[in-house]
C-alpha cells in the first residue's frame, strides 16, 4: 500500500475543489477516502485527467 496523502478539510458549509496528485498503476486502482475521527465530506465527483 502506498503512503496516504492528506488534505485539510474545507470550512464547514462551504464548497471547495481539492486537487491531490496521485500515481496510478496500469489496470484497476483503489482510492480510499477516510476522515479519521472527523466528519466525512460529501464528495460530488472525482475527475482523473488524462496524463500528457
Q: pLDDT tens for the chain, 52 residues: list them.
A: 667 777 776 666 777 787 888 888 888 888 877 777 777 777 888 888 877 6
pLDDT at 10: 66
pTM of the model: 0.49
pLDDT at 25: 80
- Calculate the alpha carbon distances from 5 to 2, 36, 37 in Å: 9, 13, 16
pLDDT at 19: 81
Q: How many Å apart are CA 14 and CA 16, to the nearest integer? A: 6
pLDDT at 9: 66
pLDDT at 30: 81
Amino acid at each position: 500500500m502506498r503512503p496516504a496523502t492528506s488534505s485539510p478539510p474545507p470550512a464547514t458549509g462551504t464548497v471547495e475543489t481539492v486537487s491531490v496528485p496521485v500515481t496510478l498503476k496500469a489496470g484497476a486502482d483503489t482510492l480510499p477516502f477516510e476522515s479519521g475521527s472527523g466528519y466525512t465530506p460529501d464528495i460530488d465527483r472525482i475527475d482523473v485527467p488524462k496524463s500528457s
